[in-house]
Amino acid sequence: MTNLSFRRNRRLRTTDALRAMVRETTLSVEDFIYPIFVVEGENEKHEIASMPGIYQLSLDHFEKELDEVVELGIPSIILFGVPHDKDACGSEAYNNEGIVQQATRLAKEKYPHLLVIADTCLCQYTDHGHCGVVEGDYVVNDPSLELLAKTAVSQAEAGADIIAPSNMMDGFVVAIREALDEAGFVNVPIMSYAVKYASAYYGPFRDAADSTPQFGDRKTYQMDPANRREAIREAASDIEEGADFLIVKPALSYLDVMREVRDLTTLPVVAYNVSGEYSMVKAAAQQGWIDERAIVLETLLSMKRAGADIVMTYHAKDAARWLKETDNE
Ligand code: PBG
Ligand code: ZN
């Protein structure tokens, strides 16, 4: 035996202390962005059937949710609005009294240090459920940019700290950057959904946000899941246009793409652990088939290891609690 020559890789795994010393990736509550769905009305709190633990909240309940988020030390939220009224051009998205604008003002008043990110898209606000302006059955690019830029400015005026455009129109970063700058918001960063696939993993979100397209699909603007090199082009064009953060979405089935984007840029990279990824874990946990806590922490860690600096996740509140417990153990 002693004559054999091989490397004792297990040597660095012998104790907790050694394992901690050589740990390459860590997960912290500071990494999290927590998505919240806000609805109009009063005393509305509806659990989303396919997303146990996630609710549509009216502003009174939203306020309580903020208390919890801040108490847990989660530094940031992203807001999704679910309006009553929808029309062809999504006017509620850029209404200064729209639900996201109201929620943003409330959050910033109550917790000035909490980072409020506004998801900037039209699909929750359009009656056809597409992310832009529809002509015939096609979502047209440039007219959609105008409405998106208008939405971004209105969200910044309400106090949003970061604008996160998600509709995958070409040129949306530069269009929003120009509009924000013109309106005096030179220091409001853009967190671009740079690499966003046409994914079945968004299914539960579309229930939550009531944003299912009424005809067709999103394949003419969201990316083909088969493509990796195209993701590099999408990321590169957003970098050129002046994005401050790049999002890769979904996360789990696209960790290879996350690594590509990480290696391409020095900008902060964000993983979006989407609704379907959340629902699958929740369903298996409810069946008692998996250890939810261990699975969630391992999953979120894998996104960091793949290159993400920041993780947008519906698990954020649970994960924050679990990380706290681990600290105290
Ligand atoms: C809106 C938007 C979507 C998601 C975030 N912003 C849905 C979509 O593009 O269909 C998905 C988030 C999730 O599944 O958690 N454009
Ligand atoms: Zn959309």
> Which ranges of 22-95 does DSSP label H, i.e. alpha helix?
59-71
* Identified catalytic residue from 86, 249, 282, 304: 249
Provide CB contacts within 8 A for 300, sequence distance 6+.
Answer: 27, 31, 273, 311, 313, 315, 319
C-alpha 191 to ligand 1 mean position (Å): 14
User: Around 143, how many Cα atoms within 13 Å sit in the side-chain half-sphere?
Assistant: 10
pLDDT for 1: 61
pLDDT tens track for 45-78: 999 999 999 999 999 999 999 999 999 999 999 9
pLDDT of residue 14: 98
Residue type (1 letter), 194: A
Q: How far is the CA of 250 from the centre of ligand 1 (A)?
A: 9
| Cα-to-centroid distance, 329 and ligand 1 (Å) | 37
Q: How confident is the model at residue 328 (pLDDT cuts 50, 70, 90)?
A: confident
**Is residue 205 lining ligand 1, measured as CB closer than 6 Å?**
yes
pLDDT value for 210: 85
Q: Is the CB of 275 under 6 A from ligand 1?
A: yes
Average pLDDT, the chain: 97
Pocket flag, ligand 1, residue 202 (CB < 6 Å) = yes
Half-sphere exposure of residue 299: CA atoms within 13 angstroms, side-chain side: 27
- 150 annotated active-site: no
**pLDDT tens for residues 22-42?**
999 999 999 999 999 999 999
- Report yes or no: 84 and 76 within 8 Å, Cβ to Cβ: no
Q: Whose CA is nearest to atom 10 of ligand 1?
A: 202
Arithmetic mean of pLDDT, 69-94: 97
196 is known as an active-site residue: yes
Place of tokens 């059955």: 137
CA of 139 to the centre of ligand 2 (A): 11
Closest ligand 1 atom number to CA of residue 35: 15
pLDDT at 144: 97
**pLDDT value of residue 207:** 87
- The whole-number average pLDDT for the span 95-122 is 98
Rounded (10°) CA dihedral 89, 94, 95, 97: 140
Query: Ligand 1, residues 86, 117, 121: which to mutate, most atoms within 8 A of Cβ?
Result: 121
Q: Please give the Cα distance from 106 to 118 (Å, whole number).
A: 13
- Residue pair 233/265 in contact by the 8 Å Cβ criterion: no
Question: Strand (E) positions, 13-135?
Answer: 32-39, 45-48, 51-57, 76-82, 115-120, 133-135
Percent of the chain with pLDDT over 90: 95
169, 141 in Cβ contact below 8 A?
yes
User: Is residue 257 scored above 90 in pLDDT?
Assistant: yes
Alpha carbons 314 and 249: distance in angstroms, whole number: 14
CATH for the stretch 25-328: 3.20.20.70
Q: Per residue in 182-207, pLDDT tens? A: 999 999 999 999 999 999 999 999 88
Using only C-alpha atoms, the chain has a radius of gyration, in whole angstroms, of 20
Active-site residue, selected from the candidate residues 64, 86, 108, 196: 196
**Pocket-testing residue among 80, 147, 193, 211, ligand 1, by greatest number of atoms within 8 A of Cβ:** 211
pLDDT score at 327: 80
**Res. 329: pLDDT tops 90:** no
Q: How far apart are CA 247 and CA 321, in angstroms?
A: 25
Q: Please state the φ and ψ torsions of residue 94, each to the nearest 5 degrees.
A: -115, 20
CA of 131 to the centre of ligand 2 (A): 4
Q: How many CA atoms lie within 13 A of 147 on its CB side?
A: 27
| Residue 2 reports pLDDT greater than 80 | no
Q: Where are the domains of the chain?
A: 25-328
Q: For the segment 3-27, what is each residue's pLDDT rounded down to a tens digit? A: 889 999 999 999 999 999 999 999 9
Give the mean model confidence (pLDDT) for residues 247-263. 98
Query: Which tokens go with 122?
Result: 């039209």
Q: Does residue 123 have its Cβ closer than 6 Å to ligand 1?
A: yes
Mean pLDDT throughout 85-100? 96
* Nearest atom within ligand 1 for CA of residue 204: 14
d(CA 42, CA 314): 23
